[in-house]
Structure 1
Amino acid sequence: MERKEDEIKQQLQELQRQLGKKQSFEEAVSSIRSLLLQYYPSASPSLQKSFYSVVCRAATILKTRYTAPGFWHAGLQLFFDTERLVSESSERKKLQDCIAQAQDHLSEIENQPENSTSTENRPRGFLFEGHLTVDPEPPQPDWLVMSNLLSAAATLPAGQSSEENPASSNSSEAAANLLRELADRLDDIVPMILDDAPAAPRVPPASKEVVAKLPVTTVTDEFLAKLDADAECAICKENLVLNDKMQELPCKHMFHPPCLKPWLDEHNSCPICRHELQTDDHNYESWKEREREAEEERKGAANAVREGEYMYV
């Protein structure tokens, strides 16, 4: 019996990981419900706690990640089933709160108006080939805006003194205005000017060797005393409790190891500060080095545009 319960706990752990993925959430909830109804009534207190924990994790993930009604309907049924089975009053109260929140969320969705934008407030159309369109005029693409600005700047006459040409002061003012506009759009212009590099590659998983060496700390009373009362794992959003295992990244942020590994496999960055870990992909590491050098070039181009603006002020 003990071996069977260990297998069920492993299944619950795997299903808990699947809850974090949008495409597998509903299927994972359905599997948890099936196991719950089949095994919870005769389960040991330890296994019952595992069931309760994974149901609470499903509630947390729903509140922090998903809004689609299908996910909340699935969660609501899971909360109903669990609330009927648990015996502890605190657990029943928690599940009743989850049920109420799910019902409120679904009620809000059902009561949303079909068209929240009235006809009176709808943006007017624009003329296109002699006809007035129904939709508002779309914004010009960035490349066209940049092209127009740079073309206008190129047509400005060479700077002359106001004594030689009284109109030169107007030209200088126009140049200053154009340079200000160019500076305002600098973040968009500079990448277009220097856009010889290929698009950023997908970030490979973190190096297994690097991840294996990340230190793991057990949460103690002293550890909790140094943190806020609401300290949590930023990935699963669960509050830290005594004896939790926490793995520390080089940026000093800490997470549950079962949460951190799949996150690093998919994103390879700290969920809080976006610090990247080293990968085993030589091509990607070379690209990062080239990108650092290109960033220095972008900064140089930005400074050049700003210095040009100051000359006309």
Structure 2
Amino acid sequence: MAASADEDLIAQISKLKQDLKSKKSFVNACAQLTEISEQWSQDASEPSVQALREAAKAAFTALQTRFSNPKFWQAGLDLFLAIDFHVPIEDAGKWRDAAVEEVDDEARERAKEQARLRRLQEDKMHNKGQFGDAVTPLSLGELLASQGIVLVEEDDRRPGMSRDARAELRVKTVLEEDVCVVCQEAMPAGSKAKAMPCGHLFHDECLLSWVKKSNSCPTCRFDDMPSEKRHYDDVQRQVMQRQPGLYS
């Protein structure tokens, strides 16, 4: 790696390390560090490795002492998994194992499967050329397909709340100081907040950002609200009513 490129990389990592100090920028900083780790060059200098090690250690320390919400641990877990697979940092496995214990069950199983698939790909790369023809590394989709797991397209995910339903969300006064579970920032008593029909309160911008992607409550998963795709609502309603012939 050229000296100038190496210096730019170290500067970028150092800036992201500073962003890890704020709740508002922690998740995004972890995501960018994860991307850097996944594109890591084997020619990277030791100072670059050291800079990434210090940033990852800072993320782990913040998770242990300040940002304990599973949302933050999930961002950290993605980072530690990427480092463990791509970058020669000894402590990455320890950080990864600690993060696995802090996320929810679904994320924990997903992380374990991701680690297993990465080991398979690493083994395949290691064995490249040993049996005559060169072996092409499997893509993540191919690895998942080999296990009977099919990746869904973006449009197949649960749709967000309909525009009409979003417009009907009410603004209420926070009676007692609370925390918005979306951003993990405080909502002082007397301030205004947007309410879901179930009664849970959130910052206006936080809730609107959330319901554009999902029509469920971030806290209790209440989802008796119209979604953006009427077809999805119709199918869901038929499944719940167990109407015959839906899949025949």
Q: TM-score, normalised by structure 2?
A: 0.40
Bigger-Rg structure (1/2):
1
Q: Which has the higher helix share?
A: 1
